[in-house]
Amino acid sequence: MPIYEYRCERCGLFEERRAVADRDAEARCVHCQGPATRQVNFLPTLLTHRSERTERLPPPARHPSGCGCGGH
């Protein structure tokens, strides 16, 4: 299941794991239960810690020969 980022006006950003079909369904803040809106992310995110922090993924590694095989 994908992880989506939502914003609560009172508490700020948080993440929630939801089915794709439910990504735009009404969301409630995990802290105050207030309404939250989904944030649109164009870069992939990785859940790094249960404290709802996100980290941008680094660019893919390149093989020293430059073949583009991902460093294998």
Q: By residue range, what is the domain housing residue 39?
A: 3-56
Asked whether residue 68 is assigned to any structural domain, the reply reads no
In sequence order, the β-bridge partners of residue 3 are 17
Rounded to an integer, what distance in angstroms lies between the CA atom of residue 72 and that of residue 69? 6
In this predicted model, what pLDDT tens digit does every residue of 18-71 receive, in sequence order? 999 998 899 999 999 999 999 986 655 555 544 444 445 555 556 666 665 555
Asked whether residue 18 is assigned to any structural domain, the reply reads yes
User: How many independent structural domains does the chain possess?
Assistant: 1
The pTM of the full predicted model, rounded to 2 decimals, is 0.54
Asked whether residue 64 is assigned to any structural domain, the reply reads no
Asked whether residue 8 is assigned to any structural domain, the reply reads yes
Asked whether residue 63 is assigned to any structural domain, the reply reads no
Asked whether residue 71 is assigned to any structural domain, the reply reads no
